Chain A
Amino acid sequence: MRILYIDTSSNYLYTGIVENEELLIELQEKLEQNLSRDALPEIASMFNKINLSPTDIDKIIVVDGPGSFTGIRIGVTIAKVYASSLNKKITTISSLEAMATSFDKASYYVPIIDARRGFVYTAIYDKNGKEVLFPQHIKINILEEKLSQLDDYLIITNDEIKLEGIKVTYKPDILKIVQTYKNRKNINPHSVNPNYLKLTEAEENLISNDRKTN
């Protein structure tokens, strides 16, 4: 079983190919503004380096968010076009799951992605990977309160977040992520869509205007 992993939810490209228990190849590259230009050629070059063709993949695991809206869409579009065209299995995981899964030796894992204006995307997982706080877009001071009730938590983030506790920088353990989620239920590729955890501003305004008039 060969699995292709794709995560473009940040300004990094994290991708790799796992065959059974072995990580055949991986790429972890900061692409920033060039993600749309470079993600696909990088993925293609990964296949070339180990002499695999796109048809040699059995399943795709793609990160569907939260994170950079544009970034998520790039990875999700590549993955769903790939899976639907070549009739490959596909499943999604969240960027927060990927972040939490990449570390060990703590009682709680707190992946955090800066969502600006005092908000973060976060979730809290216990040591068995169980969700203690479901993935959400939340004010940082509310998260702070929740953390104050926990012992031995590990914050995983690549952003400047002002919170108490032990922090580690996120570097994905792609092999471990793939092993953890490789049996997650397959999804129809058409239904693989970004999970932004946040409405667009226009939608938020429309809803708040509706509330005001009602």
Chain B
Amino acid sequence: MNEKEMYILGIESSCDETSFSIVKNGRENIATVIASQIDIHKDYGGVVPEIASRNHVKNITIVLEECLEKANMKMEDIDAIAVTYGPGLIGSLLIGLEAAKTLSFLYHKPLIPVHHIAGHIYANSLVKELEFPLLAIVVSGGHTELIKMTDHYKFKKLGGTLDDAIGECYDKVARVMDLSYPGGPKLDKLATKGETTYKLPLPLKDDSYNFSFSGLKSAVINLVHNEEQRNREINKEDLAASFQKVAVESIIKKARKAIKEEEIKHVIVAGGVAASTGLRNAITQLGEEQKVDISFPPMKYCTDNAAMIAAAGYFAYKAGRVADLSLNSKSSDRLS
């Protein structure tokens, strides 16, 4: 195999997006296809696992074929297959996993298991070479974590949320404010127009690298409830701005501490909430203040996609992470 040209087929199906991608050498996106189910789950106010699984089966071969066509490649041109094995919705994960295992069997290609969060981290590799020691701020609907990397595929979790994930908190607060699903991005947009007039408590002011968002969520719910009781109308833009300020500040405080204490050179942001304007601005400022490189994944790689899985898969493969056909999905698993 030519060291300089390695094409990885990535497969992602951990939640409600069926995606295939071909990435060259862990850096260059050749083709990515994503079939999103967002419109299907809208009617239910959130992702329904069984419906998600059913749609992954429907989409799986269509998305694969489209991806190969877009890349103008055949399966024979692929060097290895990388798949999200977890964490995520087990029924959803299984579809991508079985597809990956079948392709590995049919074409005798190495099978590379990729942790979903490793994928989000490596989404940045598609735009910038990673430098170490690196701090990954992982913010999504299922995760809020600070991860230190000393080299490719060497992860150390510094801390994480003790309860809700930040994206989950965004969505729940959005729901209280009657913003339709998925409410997180709408909340972020509203926040740019508001003033931080509502007082909300800054969660978990301690010395750890951990986060807590359930208290903040409850505080917003109580505030909305109280205002309703008093027949006072909520200024949604101001509430969104007030909420976002506190949520972002709690991330920034812990990230600043990590940059200083862990001698970080490069900060990357990963996960769906990386699309948030409020968070992006605050982290950009933090980078200037601490004089470290900051990179954000482009918007198209913030949500779930297989390009990031293929990118991570390349470095996982280099680190010797290959699996046999007995690879199984895991709904939860530590990034290691």
Using a CB–CB distance below 8 Å, which chain A residues touch chain B? 34, 36-41, 43-44, 54, 69-70, 73-74, 76-78, 80-82, 84-86, 189-190, 193-194, 196, 200-203, 206
Q: List 6 A-B contacts (CB under 8 A).
A: A41-B325, A73-B57, A73-B91, A85-B61, A190-B65, A200-B54
Tell me the complex Cα distance, A166–B46, Å.
Answer: 46
Q: Does B295 contact A (CB under 8 A)?
A: no
Residues A36 and B50 in contact, CB atoms below 8 Å apart: no
Tell me the complex Cα distance, A35–B164, Å.
Answer: 32
Q: Does B62 contact A (CB under 8 A)?
A: yes
Residues B53 and A69 in contact, CB atoms below 8 Å apart: yes
Tell me the complex Cα distance, A66–B103, Å.
Answer: 26
Q: What's the nearest-Cβ distance from chain B to residue A16, in Å?
A: 17
Q: What's the nearest-Cβ distance from chain A to residue B43, in Å?
A: 6
Q: Which parts of B56-94 form the interface with A (CB within 8 Å)? A: 57-58, 60-62, 64-65, 75, 91, 94
| Chain B hits for A190, CB < 8 A | 61-62, 65
Q: Which parts of B308-336 form the interface with A (CB within 8 Å)? A: 324-329
Tell me the complex Cα distance, A80–B61, Å.
Answer: 7
Tell me the complex Cα distance, A37–B91, Å.
Answer: 13
Interface residues of B, dominant DSSP: helix
Tell me the complex Cα distance, A193–B57, Å.
Answer: 7
Residues B61 and A70 in contact, CB atoms below 8 Å apart: no
Using a CB–CB distance below 8 Å, which chain B residues touch chain A? 43-44, 48, 50-51, 53-54, 57-58, 60-62, 64-65, 75, 91, 94-95, 97-99, 101-103, 105-107, 324-329
Residues A36 and B94 in contact, CB atoms below 8 Å apart: yes
Residues A77 and B99 in contact, CB atoms below 8 Å apart: yes
| Chain B hits for A74, CB < 8 A | 94, 98
Residues B105 and A54 in contact, CB atoms below 8 Å apart: yes
Residues B325 and A77 in contact, CB atoms below 8 Å apart: no
| Chain A hits for B105, CB < 8 A | 40, 43-44, 54
Residues A81 and B64 in contact, CB atoms below 8 Å apart: yes
Contact partner of B65 (CB less than 8 A), chosen from A82, A84, A86, A202, is A84
- A-B residue pair count with CB separations less than 8 angstroms: 95
| Chain A hits for B94, CB < 8 A | 36, 70, 73-74, 77
| Chain B hits for A76, CB < 8 A | 57
Residues A70 and B60 in contact, CB atoms below 8 Å apart: no
| Chain A hits for B106, CB < 8 A | 54, 81-82, 85-86
Residues B48 and A81 in contact, CB atoms below 8 Å apart: no
Residues A81 and B99 in contact, CB atoms below 8 Å apart: yes
Residues A44 and B98 in contact, CB atoms below 8 Å apart: no
Q: What's the nearest-Cβ distance from chain B to residue A34, in Å?
A: 8
Known: A41-B325, A78-B98, A81-B61. 10 other contacts (CB 8 A): A36-B94, A36-B97, A37-B328, A44-B325, A69-B50, A69-B91, A70-B94, A80-B60, A200-B48, A200-B50
Shortest Cβ distance from A39 into B: residue: B98
Q: What's the nearest-Cβ distance from chain B to residue A209, in Å?
A: 10
Residues A203 and B328 in contact, CB atoms below 8 Å apart: no
Tell me the complex Cα distance, A206–B107, Å.
Answer: 43
Residues B51 and A36 in contact, CB atoms below 8 Å apart: no
Residues A41 and B61 in contact, CB atoms below 8 Å apart: no
Shortest Cβ distance from B41 into A: residue: A202
Q: What's the nearest-Cβ distance from chain B to residue A207, in Å?
A: 11
Tell me the complex Cα distance, A34–B326, Å.
Answer: 10
A202/B48 contact (C-beta < 8 A), A73-B53, A80-B60 known: yes
Tell me the complex Cα distance, A49–B57, Å.
Answer: 29
Residues B326 and A37 in contact, CB atoms below 8 Å apart: yes
Residues B50 and A202 in contact, CB atoms below 8 Å apart: yes
Residues B325 and A40 in contact, CB atoms below 8 Å apart: yes
Residues B91 and A70 in contact, CB atoms below 8 Å apart: yes
Q: What's the nearest-Cβ distance from chain A to residue B286, in Å?
A: 41
Contact partner of A194 (CB less than 8 A), chosen from B48, B57, B75, B325, is B57
| Chain B hits for A41, CB < 8 A | 324-326
Q: What's the nearest-Cβ distance from chain A to residue B306, in Å?
A: 15
Residues B53 and A85 in contact, CB atoms below 8 Å apart: no
Residues B97 and A81 in contact, CB atoms below 8 Å apart: no
Tell me the complex Cα distance, A40–B103, Å.
Answer: 11
| Chain A hits for B91, CB < 8 A | 69-70, 73
| Chain A hits for B95, CB < 8 A | 73, 77
Tell me the complex Cα distance, A82–B106, Å.
Answer: 7
Tell me the complex Cα distance, A193–B91, Å.
Answer: 15
Tell me the complex Cα distance, A203–B60, Å.
Answer: 22
Q: What's the nearest-Cβ distance from chain B to residue A206, in Å?
A: 6
